[in-house]
Chain A
Amino acid sequence: MSGVETALLAATVESGTGARRRRWLRRYGLAALGGVVIAIWAIAAILAPWIAPYPPDVVNVAGRLLPPSDLHWLGTDVLGRDVFTRVLYGARTSLAVGFIVVLLGALFGTLLGAIAAYIRGWAEEALMRATDLVFCFPPIILAMAIAAALGIGTRNTVIAMLVVWWPKFARLARSLVIGQRSAEYVAAAQAIGFGPSHILFRQIIPNAVGPLVVLVTLDLGNAILVFAGLSFLGLGVVPPTAEWGSMVSEGRELVNQWWVATFPGLAILSVVIGFNFVGDGIRDWLDPHARRR
């Protein structure tokens, strides 16, 4: 058999279904795992009222701080509430806040950044200085200050987080639009007579969404983490609402009753890692270099 035939044979073997599946797994396996984790949490959050074994807020002092058992899979907390139930309900708050903050932040940030980049001049300058102003402070400290000023409550915390959230999207959108603006298809659209809003929203932005989608996905975990952090510090939700950060906070001094803080902590960990895996996967998928066609 000549070298050519051997190579062709090898190529046929390599492109077989088994090899293709292995290659796919190597590239997107973690992303798929992340997607499964997120999907499980999303389903749990939606179905919490039906699948949770106990009501989330009913105090039962007699059954406080019970270790994990058949009755209470993840034990009970200081007020005798079922930890498993509260972790499920906590997913509702955490995921909802994460999505709202990141999507609204992305929307505002992208709009502002894209418009500023397209019209340039003083608008761009003003926007960039505004983002600098926000970037001057560590995000969680600034969010804490704003949340504290507005008062405790989920809505106020979301507003505080939005204030620190939009600038990164504005920056990214600006640099993406600047990159696209000098492309010849933009000049071609101008030459045909399209107005600026058509060119920006219908032509440029569709070409810039890829990296924005990646940032949104990677950022969801981050937003959930920051919100949990704020709740941990007592700024997020109003008790007795179930929320992972505040649950960790409640259990932080109970060294012997480890289950109170550990399970909500693991919930945060799994969601954040899940979103990161998915974000990495999307980035690889959008990046032709990593994709190695």
Chain B
Amino acid sequence: MHDAAEPILRVENLHTWFFTDGGVVRAVDGVSFTLHPGETLGIVGESGSGKSVTAKSIIRLLDEPARIVEGTISFRGRDMVHLSDEALREIRGAEIAMVFQDPMTSLNPVLRIGRQLVETMTAHRRFGAKAARERGVTLLRRMGMATPERAMNGWPHRFSGGMRQRVMLAMGFANEPTLLIADEPTTALDVTIQAQILDLLRELNADLGTAVILISHDLGVIADVCSRVLVMYAGEVVEEGAPEDLLSDPRHPYTWALLHAAPRLDQANDGDRRLTTIEGQPPDARDWPAGCRFRARCPFAVAKCVEHPDLLPIGEDRAARCWVTQDGATLRPPTHARAVGEARTATGVQPLLEVRALAKHFELPRDSFLEPHRILRAVDGVDFDVFPGETVGLVGESGCGKSTLARVVMRLTEPTEGRIVFDGQDITHMSQAAIRPLRRRMQMIFQDPYGSLNPRMMVGEILSGPLRLHGLVPAGGARERVRELLDLVGLPPAAAARFPHEFSGGQRQRISIARALAVEPGFIIGDEPISALDVNIQAQIINLMIGLQERLGLTYLFIAHDLAVVRHISDRIVVLYLGRVVETAPSQELFARPLHPYTNSLISAVPVPDPHLARRRRRIALQGEVPNAVDPPSGCRFRTRCPAAATRCAEETPSLTQAAPGHFVACHFPGSVTVV
């Protein structure tokens, strides 16, 4: 359909390499693609696949030791590889704009929003200062800012991540570029905010005709926005095509693996909780394997794969780099061993963990000496139970208090009010010395695989420390137990003698899990244990956690913001909003019949990697952002964003009441907003 127009961007055989002391990192190793005016192209791949470097190569945002060693990039007839720095500056920000992943660092903190926006425009001399200012206001309004005039005078730190990303988009579109490159623009944002930004991106593309290159690791996000997709693996494009084809009938095993590794909201899990994963790690970019680079991990590999395949067309408008599918073969969907799915939530048993009216308030520094301290109500009256052997999922957007809740339950932070009962013992105000024996029975896995392991300790020390502290091994027996623990999480015994920085994110998370398991706990709190990992690694860790639960009879409290993951792993789900529980129900029930408007909007905001379904699905657009927990709204805390809010919601706080057996909801009008 876009054959008529000349492509605006043509990348051919691009090689961008990093010449480091440790060797030549061949990050981008032969990438070719074209982009037509107004087209939306998605680039997917895991970290290290070369997708960001490809994008940066286009506008030559490359620092030493990175160099484009071969290939051509032609943008509207200009040779971007050999363009002078001055000519390049003319193009950057004017004809090609870029939006980065981290909205927290991509705005200059010491300059007002308005000034940064105006400078973007005046730098290219297309607008005078006054005209630029007016246009800035218009742009911010177009990006969905409620009070653009005030926003112009604001400082970046006053804005949330979502708002900053809107500002970044306004800057991106300021000079009416021909091409916008967005590098993981929504990865750092909550699902509801992500949905808003993606809607905006789609509208802007339609209204202004700006071509978009969207880089993401999330197939759902790509399917939502893009009309064509490139899948990258090991510095190469392995598959290219329309999302409809790619996602319903992948022709490269890596695309296939990406598609099946992530749990999906649109597919019910029927008993088997294990996800499809591919073995191993991506190859080392300093030494790509000969032949097909995916061969070592590929479940479909054949003898011919020792030869390096080319990206060849298969069928209409699509191409794949695979010998197996070259002759039109399809990749069969994974078959699951159907395990009998029984609800593991026991009834009539004493709960392992009882949380009652739990609150954690933080005192903030006062603005002036005369004012009282302001109170941040991070957790404000939360009740829930965890029964032995089950997995309870705790979901909510950032700032809802879920991590604080985990730390209070672990007694890493002192609770302000309420009661925590662990296995019949009230631990709410127990001293740290008294609680020490109990730490053997409850453990925690942390979010950040880089921060949660002490960088100065070897893995062996990290794992044997807990054993010695609790006197779990006889003198000299620690080594044997460390080996067992490493084996339990699928790491070789040699790992004990290495430091954390020698491992990848997924491997570190395995070490973190091994450390938690060292004291043989019965109850484990996972505080977003997979959020920082690539999709396939996420699936590996989920499978590991499920396997360990079955073998060791563990009970999990699993905290996450990814609804699909939570639904996949949990027996029961607790939905948190601004420090309060808004809904709790068995997992299947919650997704089949969500009653709270917030739960409904969360579910509707999750992108689904199926373009047909994505277009059919109704999205409940939530207005605005989560209010500040220092001064939460009166009555129902969700009312400021709720499509069904009435006057009663402001006056009366809804209490958590039972709507169906095991299904509790805190809403005056349950079920009034639905997606299902």
Question: Which residues in A have their C-beta under 8 angstroms from that of B600?
Answer: none
Do A194 and B465 touch (CB < 8 A)? yes
Interface check B306, CB cutoff 8 A: no
B447 → chain A closest CB, angstroms:
7
Residue of B19, B435, B469 touching A14 (CB-CB under 8 A): B19
Interface residues as binary, A188-228 with B (CB distance below 8 Å gives 1, 0 otherwise)? 11111111000000010011000000000000000000000
Interface residues as binary, A1-33 with B (CB distance below 8 Å gives 1, 0 otherwise)? 011101110010011000000010000000000
Interface check B470, CB cutoff 8 A: yes
Do B443 and A191 touch (CB < 8 A)? yes
- Selected interface stretch from B149-157, B202-210, B222-230, B448-456: B448-456
- Bound together, the chains give a CA A216 to CA B443 distance in angstroms of 39
Residue of B19, B435, B439, B454 touching A11 (CB-CB under 8 A): B19
Interface check B22, CB cutoff 8 A: yes
Question: Which residues in A have their C-beta under 8 angstroms from that of B432?
Answer: 195
Q: Which residue of A lies closest to B470 (CB)?
A: A193
Do A3 and B15 touch (CB < 8 A)? yes
Residue of A7, A14, A184, A191 touching B410 (CB-CB under 8 A): A191
Within 8 A of A (CB), among B430-477: 432, 435-436, 439-440, 443-444, 446-448, 451-457, 465-466, 469-470
Interface check B515, CB cutoff 8 A: yes
Interface residues as binary, B4-33 with A (CB distance below 8 Å gives 1, 0 otherwise)? 000000000001010111111000000000
Question: Which residues in B have their C-beta under 8 angstroms from that of A191?
Answer: 410, 412, 439, 443-444
Interface residues as binary, B387-408 with A (CB distance below 8 Å gives 1, 0 otherwise)? 0000000000000000000010
Do A203 and B454 touch (CB < 8 A)? yes
B420 → chain A closest CB, angstroms:
15
- Bound together, the chains give a CA A206 to CA B512 distance in angstroms of 20
Do A8 and B443 touch (CB < 8 A)? no
Do B67 and A193 touch (CB < 8 A)? no
Do A188 and B515 touch (CB < 8 A)? yes
Interface check B69, CB cutoff 8 A: yes
Question: Which residues in B have their C-beta under 8 angstroms from that of A192?
Answer: 439, 443, 465-466, 469, 515, 518-519
- Bound together, the chains give a CA A185 to CA B465 distance in angstroms of 13
Residue of B21, B436, B446, B469 touching A188 (CB-CB under 8 A): B446
Question: Which residues in A have their C-beta under 8 angstroms from that of B451?
Answer: 183-185
Residue of A14, A190, A207, A293 touching B412 (CB-CB under 8 A): A190
A221 → chain B closest CB, angstroms:
28
Q: Which residue of A lies closest to B63 (CB)?
A: A292
Interface check A187, CB cutoff 8 A: yes
Q: Which residue of B lies closest to A209 (CB)?
A: B456
B353 → chain A closest CB, angstroms:
15
Do B466 and A3 touch (CB < 8 A)? no
A68 → chain B closest CB, angstroms:
47
Q: Which residue of B lies closest to A3 (CB)?
A: B70
How many cross-chain pairs have Cβ atoms below 8 Å apart between A and B?
86
Decide yes or no: A193 and B436 within 8 Å by CB, A3-B69, A4-B69 being known contacts: yes
Within 8 A of A (CB), among B35-92: 64-65, 67, 69-71
Question: Which residues in B have their C-beta under 8 angstroms from that of A185?
Answer: 451-455
Do A184 and B448 touch (CB < 8 A)? yes
- Bound together, the chains give a CA A148 to CA B140 distance in angstroms of 67
- Bound together, the chains give a CA A3 to CA B452 distance in angstroms of 43
Q: Which residue of B lies closest to A12 (CB)?
A: B24
Decide yes or no: A207 and B22 within 8 Å by CB, A184-B447, A188-B446, A190-B412 being known contacts: no
Do A207 and B456 touch (CB < 8 A)? yes
Do A7 and B452 touch (CB < 8 A)? no
B275 → chain A closest CB, angstroms:
25
Question: Which residues in A have their C-beta under 8 angstroms from that of B70?
Answer: 2-4, 7
Question: Which residues in B have their C-beta under 8 angstroms from that of A2?
Answer: 70
Residue of B19, B454, B466 touching A207 (CB-CB under 8 A): B454
Do B512 and A188 touch (CB < 8 A)? yes
A15 → chain B closest CB, angstroms:
8
Do B69 and A7 touch (CB < 8 A)? yes
Decide yes or no: A187 and B515 within 8 Å by CB, A4-B69, A207-B456 being known contacts: no
Decide yes or no: A7 and B67 within 8 Å by CB, A184-B452, A185-B453 being known contacts: yes
Do B469 and A194 touch (CB < 8 A)? yes
Residue of A3, A184, A195, A292 touching B446 (CB-CB under 8 A): A184
B365 → chain A closest CB, angstroms:
14
Q: Which residue of A lies closest to B519 (CB)?
A: A192
Do B440 and A4 touch (CB < 8 A)? no
Question: Which residues in B have their C-beta under 8 angstroms from that of A184?
Answer: 446-448, 451-452
Do B17 and A7 touch (CB < 8 A)? yes
Q: Which residue of A lies closest to B452 (CB)?
A: A184
Interface residues as binary, B469-495 with A (CB distance below 8 Å gives 1, 0 otherwise)? 110000000000000000000000000
Question: Which residues in B have their C-beta under 8 angstroms from that of A183?
Answer: 451-452
Q: Which residue of B lies closest to A4 (CB)?
A: B70
- Bound together, the chains give a CA A94 to CA B359 distance in angstroms of 60
Question: Which residues in A have their C-beta under 8 angstroms from that of B447?
Answer: 184
Do A187 and B407 touch (CB < 8 A)? yes
- Bound together, the chains give a CA A3 to CA B19 distance in angstroms of 15
Question: Which residues in A have their C-beta under 8 angstroms from that of B446?
Answer: 184, 187-188
Interface residues as binary, B199-237 with A (CB distance below 8 Å gives 1, 0 otherwise)? 000000000000000000000000000000000000000
- Bound together, the chains give a CA A94 to CA B24 distance in angstroms of 48
Interface residues as binary, A149-192 with B (CB distance below 8 Å gives 1, 0 otherwise)? 00000000000000000000000000000000001110111111
Do A193 and B21 touch (CB < 8 A)? no
Decide yes or no: A193 and B456 within 8 Å by CB, A4-B69, A14-B19 being known contacts: no
Question: Which residues in B have their C-beta under 8 angstroms from that of A15?
Answer: 21, 23
- Bound together, the chains give a CA A8 to CA B19 distance in angstroms of 10
Do A11 and B24 touch (CB < 8 A)? yes
Do B69 and A293 touch (CB < 8 A)? no
- Bound together, the chains give a CA A191 to CA B406 distance in angstroms of 11
- Bound together, the chains give a CA A293 to CA B64 distance in angstroms of 11
- Bound together, the chains give a CA A185 to CA B407 distance in angstroms of 13
- Bound together, the chains give a CA A28 to CA B163 distance in angstroms of 45
Interface centre among B70, B439, B440, B454 (most CB of A within 10 A): B454
Question: Which residues in A have their C-beta under 8 angstroms from that of B439?
Answer: 191-193
Question: Which residues in B have their C-beta under 8 angstroms from that of A187?
Answer: 407, 412, 444, 446, 452
Question: Which residues in B have their C-beta under 8 angstroms from that of A3?
Answer: 15, 69-71
- Bound together, the chains give a CA A293 to CA B22 distance in angstroms of 7
Question: Which residues in A have their C-beta under 8 angstroms from that of B448?
Answer: 184
- Bound together, the chains give a CA A192 to CA B447 distance in angstroms of 16
Do A4 and B443 touch (CB < 8 A)? no
Question: Which residues in B have their C-beta under 8 angstroms from that of A8?
Answer: 24
Question: Which residues in B have their C-beta under 8 angstroms from that of A194?
Answer: 465, 469
Question: Which residues in A have their C-beta under 8 angstroms from that of B64?
Answer: 292
Question: Which residues in B have their C-beta under 8 angstroms from that of A14?
Answer: 19
Decide yes or no: A293 and B515 within 8 Å by CB, A4-B15, A207-B455 being known contacts: no
- Bound together, the chains give a CA A3 to CA B444 distance in angstroms of 51
B106 → chain A closest CB, angstroms:
19
Question: Which residues in B have their C-beta under 8 angstroms from that of A193?
Answer: 435-436, 439-440, 466, 469-470
Q: Which residue of B lies closest to A207 (CB)?
A: B456
Interface residues as binary, A50-72 with B (CB distance below 8 Å gives 1, 0 otherwise)? 00000000000000000000000
Question: Which residues in B have their C-beta under 8 angstroms from that of A207?
Answer: 454-456
Question: Which residues in A have their C-beta under 8 angstroms from that of B17?
Answer: 7, 11
- Bound together, the chains give a CA A258 to CA B440 distance in angstroms of 74
Question: Which residues in A have their C-beta under 8 angstroms from that of B515?
Answer: 188, 192
Q: Which residue of B lies closest to A190 (CB)?
A: B412
B121 → chain A closest CB, angstroms:
33
Question: Which residues in B have their C-beta under 8 angstroms from that of A11?
Answer: 17, 19, 24
9 inter-chain pairs at a CB distance below 8 angstroms, sorted by A residue, are: A7-B24, A15-B21, A15-B23, A185-B452, A185-B454, A187-B407, A188-B515, A191-B444, A293-B22
Known A193-B466, A206-B456; further 8 A-B contacts with Cβ < 8 A: A4-B69, A7-B15, A8-B24, A14-B19, A15-B21, A23-B21, A187-B446, A187-B452
**Chain B residues at the A interface, C-beta cutoff of 8 Å:** 15, 17, 19-24, 64-65, 67, 69-71, 407, 410, 412, 432, 435-436, 439-440, 443-444, 446-448, 451-457, 465-466, 469-470, 512, 515, 518-519
The 4 closest A-B pairs by CB, nearest first: A3-B70, A7-B69, A193-B439, A184-B452
